[in-house]
Structure 1
């Protein structure tokens, strides 16, 4: 594989991996924000539900007091104002457990003081000696409680609206970003896959050609070895065939030398 292609593939995979990590982080942040908004919505619904229950219990108690004051029938005082106050206090404690925002906790403290006043009015209204003044005071106290509850609901709705706007902004901004990043990662991945596949095919072709060359080279080496063996055999045969006349000439010369030693003249000069 070429060095330049190898580097390109490494850079491509690094960019794709970085893009995927970035998209994953952004998706996690968006999902976290979505979960936070869902939790905030659930919190606002829970607060509104608890306030609604407190308001309904108070209004039921107010209606019972008015019915008793008009008819003087004890049936309107069942359940008693003390029992109704216990139910309201129970809902208030649940509301206290739900709310952890400092401004809302201050509103809860104010609501608690108003509820304590209301408890006293309810108990006083259940007595036969109570008059129209207690009813007017009860209406005024109930209006204050309703306003305080509405203030708390408005705060919850404002916080929920703010969170929703922030989530909408980030969603509109980051969702296209995540899509573009994912698209870039996919394109880089496809390009890297195509490049790797092309390089792999090229590598297979080169290896196939190398194996073919190796086979041809081995065949040529075998042919050369065979030719060398044939040449060695030919040389051996040729040398053996040439040595035989020489041995005969040497033998014949030795016999002539022995037979005609005395008749052969001595060497003269360079001869």
Structure 2
């Protein structure tokens, strides 16, 4: 396991619980490697020189940030013919082309990982890809030991999926953060929004999301939109984001309804 960050910290122990032996853990931070290795029986923490002295293994998993994969590949001394798989969503399989002595692969978990929270790996989609069919089959077997949702996904589709995931997860979380801050500013509990958030997500998971859009933007309620813009004047960045999202919703939903047509509810 090359890397000891958010992905590796959850993936390493999960692989061990699934019956796989983790021989070693390397990290740019020795303390992180030691902490992760301590959670995995039989795993050895590799020191800073570990990249040049890796134990022989069936698969070397590069669970490092996207921007670090190329640097790790350039520094690591993998045995010729070794299978190395990165866990990045946006990084192409072609990153291995500069290392023809290696067998390249992708082992991408489509999930968000945070310290202090564990995930149910059985429900985490795992997207795999490899330069050779035999290696792809091996990664599929490894993935199926963890998850019930395993897909072979080529680089272009995986990269598009990663963009979609950023909108679905990262941007959504940021918007919820703004909601939390506004609720705190008004001295009302953020928890009041919990039923609304749950219903919004459930509805979007069971219908095409654009078809169930609600709110003042989709109904072109200009009075409410103006009030909201005024309320956000003290937060210019959030105001700009509000305006941009309003424009996007209205562009997607089309023109306002006729004046004599009853406006949809919130």
The structure carrying a bigger strand percent of its residues is 2
* Higher relative contact order, chain-length normalized (CA < 8 Å, sep 6+): 1
Structure with greater proportional helix content: 1
Verify same fold: TM over 0.5.
Answer: no
What range describes the TM-score normalised by the shorter chain of this pair? under 0.3
Q: Which structure is larger by alpha-carbon Rg, 1 or 2?
A: 1
